[in-house]
Amino acid sequence: PAAFADWFAARGWAPRPHQLALLAAAQAGRSALLVAPTGAGKTLAGFLPTLVELAEGDGKGGLHTLYISPLKALAVDIARNLEAPVSGIGLEAKIRVETRTGDTPSHKRTRQVSRPPQILLTTPEQLALLVAHREAAELFSGLKRVVLDELHALVTSKRGDLLSLGLARLHRLAPGLAA
């Protein structure tokens, strides 16, 4: 979309091939795995399909994308990094980005279930709590995408098992989630 091209151009950037490839895979309804070095634009690649879909009005206004990180500090950092494209493209009125960790106040957690953001960044432990919530079916009914970051840090631990169970539950709760 033009707004995205303008945002990239204003920074003297051009979308990288892997960012466009992830966007194309998402638009075709396919899952993708991206392995790239630090500083290669993986975060933007992971969220570009979501930002494009939400900018074009896709979704029901509820939770669209769930980002799962092994570290709450990383989730907070990624949320901060998403502010630039969201505001730079003029999507602040359409897209709310929030984190949910063990540090999130209970009143905010309650609101996130009743009025979820379009993008929620969380940890495997919080995912386990969310999929077990009595409102989980409604919360995840419109979920379209899951972004897993630093997966290698989780797969060989009990947290990886917890994540696998959470993802299996998500596939039952979110009919529109790509396999």
For CA atoms 49, 65, 120, 91, give the dihedral sign: positive
Is 35 part of any domain?
Answer: no
Is 79 part of any domain?
Answer: yes
- Asked whether the beta carbons of 76 and 99 are under 8 A apart, the reply is yes
Higher confidence at residue 17 or residue 60? Answer: 17
Query: At 92, which CATH number?
Result: 3.40.50.300
Label residue 57 by pLDDT band (50, 70, 90).
Answer: confident
Higher confidence at residue 52 or residue 58? Answer: 52
User: Tell me, what's the pLDDT at 10?
Assistant: 95
Label residue 38 by pLDDT band (50, 70, 90).
Answer: confident
% of the chain surpassing 90 pLDDT:
89
Cross-strand pairs, 98: 120
Is 96 part of any domain?
Answer: yes
Dist CA 135 CA 48 (whole Å)? 28
**What mean pLDDT do residues 54-77 have?**
89
Label residue 179 by pLDDT band (50, 70, 90).
Answer: low
Dist CA 131 CA 128 (whole Å)? 5
As a three-state string, the secondary structure of 82-126 is HHHHHHHCCCCCCCCEEEECCCCCHHHHHHHHHCCCCEEEECHHH
**What mean pLDDT do residues 8-17 have?**
94
Domain that holds residue 147: 2-26+40-173
Tokens 């033009």: give the residue. Answer: 2
In this model, does residue 58 exceed pLDDT 60? no
Please state the domain count of the chain.
1
Is 163 part of any domain?
Answer: yes
